[in-house]
Amino acid sequence: MSHKPKFLLVVNDMAWFWSHRLPLAKAILAEGYDLHLATNGAEGNREISALGIKGHDLPEHTGGFNPVAQAKIAYAIYQTLHLVRPDIVHAITLRHAFYTGICARILKTPRAVFTIAGVGMLFSKDDPKMQTIRAAIVPLFKFAFGGKGRAAIFQNPDDARALIKCGAIEKERATVIKGSGVDPVQFPFVSLPKDEKPIVLFCSRLLKAKGIGEFVHAARILRSKNIKARFQVAGDIYEGNPGSATREDVKHWAEEGSIEWLGQRKDMPALMAASTIVTLPSYYGEGVPKVLLEAAATGRPIVTTDMPGCRECVDEGGNGYLVEARNAWALADALEKLLIDPLMCERMGKAGRTKIENGFTVDIVNAKTVALYQKLFPQKEEAALSKAA
């Protein structure tokens, strides 16, 4: 390969690119690729251009299964692949990876990597409707993710097993790289605050499946027991998604005194530093929740569910607790144990920081991802790539 290899990164949301995948983009550039980014608002974005990345617009993804909206996203991905003609494409999140895989097969894109950052409700829910949908789409998944020069990254082993078992992905194509990583400098270890009322922080999109209802219920339980604590919610509702809490719900919870609603926040290091405990009682079908990695890096004990992705962040009794999903009483019990024992919080916080440093930093995650890219290039092309870098 004599030219500078073209790399197309496809992500589902611009804000998510900045919060989760900017370090990966920098690692790709450092490897000598000509990097293109496809997401909403990328074309003409000065910050993207300043990084040396060429932006391409995709329609905004608002959730749901509106067929017209989904067709527009898929067609825009097809157009971008046709225009860029990348040597390698990496698409992140299940839906965008699926569309990219189909288009890449049609256009004969030589190499493709797909990150399945959580399977959402599609593979985690077992009602008849989801079973019917899965049966119909598995052959399409097999086509999208199959073929020469393809690899799939899963963020937890449960998701990998689920898609391999149903035949959506061949075992030899699957690699587990846990999460998108956390920057230990951006999220430094901070000693626990000495506030009279410790803060329990819930930080996520306010989807019901993220456990917001269980969090509010647990807060009510602990207030009824006169446990001193503040229960903060950082995040916003998800307009247009039937699985989201409503604005009226959240206002009611705040007005009754169960929670403090902070809204959408971008100062995550400061929020983590001000908290004592971080919780995410999710049953959504996560990859590896970044917010839990950020909490552990800051030195905060975690309470989350014993579910795929979430359990990757916690060593039970080491840096936090795992509780049964959809069980507000179990959540309240675990939070109470920590709220009445500051020394345990301190010990678990230190253990969490060690866990991050040993396996979840952005440098570790990106090194594994770049190594996978290099495997897809024949030896002669790898030499050319190294020279281009």
- pLDDT tens digit sequence for 289-331: 999 999 999 999 999 999 999 999 999 999 999 999 999 999 9
Angle between helical axes of 290-298 and 342-359 (0-180°, round to 10): 120
First to last CA, the chain: 13
Q: CATH 3.40.50.2000 residue ranges in the chain?
A: 6-181+362-388, 199-359
- Token pair in block for residue 52: 């040396």
> Tens digit of pLDDT for each residue in 100-112?
999 999 999 999 9
Amino acid making up residue 172: E
Q: For residue 241, what pLDDT band results from cuts at 50, 70 and 90?
A: confident
Beta strands in 127-220 (DSSP E): 150-154, 174-176, 199-203
> 199-359: what fold?
Rossmann fold (3.40.50)
Q: How many CB atoms lie within 10 A of CB 156?
A: 26
pLDDT confidence of residue 1: 41
Is the pLDDT confidence value at 387 over 60? Answer: no
Instruction: Name the phi and psi angles at 378, rounded to 5.
Output: -55, 160
| Domain 6-181+362-388: assigned CATH number | 3.40.50.2000
The pTM is what? 0.89
212 CB contacts (<8 Å, ≥6 apart)?
202, 204, 206, 233, 245
In the chain, count H helices and then E strands: 16, 13
- pLDDT at residue 311, as a whole number: 95
Cβ-contact 134, 122 below 8 angstroms: yes
Q: Give the sheet arrangement for strand 54-57, strand by strand.
A: 54-57, 34-39, 6-10, 88-92, 112-116, 150-154, 174-176
